[in-house]
């Protein structure tokens, strides 16, 4: 109804923000540059900020800029998981059927990552809302 009244081409009030429509603030540009540096040097990074400041949106923009034939994106938005559930989520994201035992899933994840790398495909694992992740997962990953 308001779209017609205000002559809008899309609904600007949805929960999903389209990466085409955004303001490139100084913070957005800085976060994007840091993610680009991380992409170039390959490693582990942390993007932190106040709730609602746009961290997830910056990540979405970053992911949409990656060449899908060169990167395997694994996005885990839920971090209130057990270690085993976390490994299952990683397996799902990597496109493998998870084994029953945690140790077997760990081996599957390693093998899958090695396979992608051998094909010149870089796995990018994004864990959103990581502040809620359990210490047991961090201990298991040795972080």
Distances in whole angstroms, Cα of residue 42 to Cα of each of 33, 52, 123: 14, 27, 10
For 78-119, what is each residue's pLDDT tens digit?
878 889 999 999 999 999 999 999 999 999 999 999 999 999
Task: Give the range among 20-24, 42-46, 124-128 with minimum mean pLDDT.
Answer: 20-24
Long-range pairs for 50-54 at CB < 8 Å and ≥24 separation? 53/27, 54/27, 54/28
Find the domain containing 103 and state its range.
Answer: 67-143
More confident site: 10 or 86: 86
> Does the structure show a pLDDT above 70 at 34?
yes
Shared domain for 58 and 80, answered yes or no, is: no
Q: Are residues 93 and 44 in the same domain?
A: no
Tell me what pLDDT residue 1 has. 63
Among 65, 99, 119, the domain boundary falls at: 65
What integer pLDDT is reported at residue 143 of this predicted model? 52
Domain identity same for 27 and 75: no
Element of type H or E holding 126: strand 122-127
């Amino acid at each position: 109804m308001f779209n017609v009244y205000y002559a809008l081409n899309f609904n600007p009030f949805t929960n999903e923000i389209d990466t085409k429509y955004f303001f490139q603030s100084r913070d957005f540009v800085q976060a994007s540059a840091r993610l680009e540096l991380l992409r170039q040097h390959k490693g582990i990074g942390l993007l932190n900020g106040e709730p609602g400041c746009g961290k997830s949106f910056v990540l979405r923009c970053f992911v949409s800029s990656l060449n899908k034939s060169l990167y395997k994106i694994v996005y885990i938005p839920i971090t209130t998981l057990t270690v085993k559930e976390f490994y299952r989520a990683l397996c799902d994201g990597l496109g493998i059927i998870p084994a029953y035992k945690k140790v077997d899933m760990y081996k599957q994840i390693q093998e899958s990552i090695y396979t992608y790398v051998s094909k010149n495909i870089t796995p990018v694992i994004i864990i959103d809302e990581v502040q809620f992740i359990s210490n047991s997962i961090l201990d298991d990953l040795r972080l």
